[in-house]
Amino acid sequence: MEKRIEKKISVRQGKEVRLDKYLLGLGLGLSRSKIQKLISNNGVLINGKPAKPHHIVHSGEILSIKYEQKKPVEIEPENIPVDIVYEDNELLVVNKASGMVVHPARGNFHGTLVNALLYHTSRGLAESDDYTKPGVVHRIDKETSGLLVFAKTERVHSELARQVQDRIMKRIYLLLVWGVLPTDKGIIEAPIGRNTLDRKKMKVTPFASRKAVTHFRVIERFNIATYIRAQLETGRTHQIRVHFSHMGYPVIGDPNYDGRRLSVLVDIGKHHKDKFDLILKKLKRQALHATSLSFYHPHKKKTMAFYAPLPNDIKEVLQILHKNCIQ
């Protein structure tokens, strides 16, 4: 079906935003490549004239878009247990279990966190231009556990999305990586883009990539692993997993970024294979948990912070490390 949008552009003063990036942030349900193609085909007008791909948007400009959108598939509420940490009339905070997808996508319209929340929240979730993502402000990977915030109203959704973009929302993760990090704290700044050899994966690359920054601090070291606290400055797909794997310290248990490969033993020592096997037997996913989330509540006019303790599977790995792998 054909969809038309016309709106007055609003951007923060002094901030330069390219048109394709601005459109991506509107949640049209289109990929970056489809947005760029739409612009090239004169499907995007600025003040009534066809826009150029690298146009820098300015407040007050009139944006007009015409594009084809597939007929939405109805997302069904499903009675799936979910850990709601906080809820009010405007938003809710959830501690997502590992193994659950955040929102529906192609071929996967059941069993997601959105399906569960639509059942458990009587007021529903904020509508989105991408019908598969009602209320979704930010995401974490299927096998990553931890905290997420969802919006119930469009006004709050817009405000929380702005906080993510402006780095006001704070997201802190706990993770275990293979190997012993030599520095107590640091910043990983390496651009991330799609892996051209496997489109489901990301990689550090200067080509067709976006800026990605991760701050980290070592909590504890073991003779084969390091326990780390990481904070996202940006929120790229698989960012923490890609950054630490690129540094040579893959997240323990990560099936996509070397966290389960025997090649890890080259760095930690082949004589540690029994501990390597024991840990991976206990942990069926990557040892990554979104433990802390804070943001400014647009309705209550105050900063709110939430904490989710480590889930049992990562706790068990820590116990193994404390028992068998103290330096």
H-type alpha helices, the chain = 19-25, 32-40, 113-120, 154-165, 239-246, 264-268, 273-282, 312-324
Question: 241 has which bridge partners?
Answer: none
Is 141 in the active site? yes
Please report, as a single letter, which amino acid is at residue 199: R
Q: How wide is the angle at C-alpha 166 spanned by C-alphas 49 and 16, nearest 5°?
A: 35
Residues 6+ apart with CB under 8 A from 235: 138, 164, 171
Closest CA relative to residue 35, chosen from 11, 13, 18, 12: 18
Closest CA relative to residue 180, chosen from 92, 120, 266, 248: 248
For residues 46 and 24, give the distance between their C-alpha atoms in angstroms, rounded to a whole number: 16
Set 141, 184, 258, 277: catalytic member: 141
The dihedral of CA 222, 278, 287, 271: what is its sign? Answer: positive
- Can you spell out the DSSP letters for 31-83? -HHHHHHHHHTT-EEETTEEPPTTPBP-TTPEEEEEEE-PPPPPPPP-----E
For residues 26 and 8, give the distance between their C-alpha atoms in angstroms, rounded to a whole number: 13
Overall residue count recorded for the chain in this entry = 327
* Residues known to be catalytic: 141
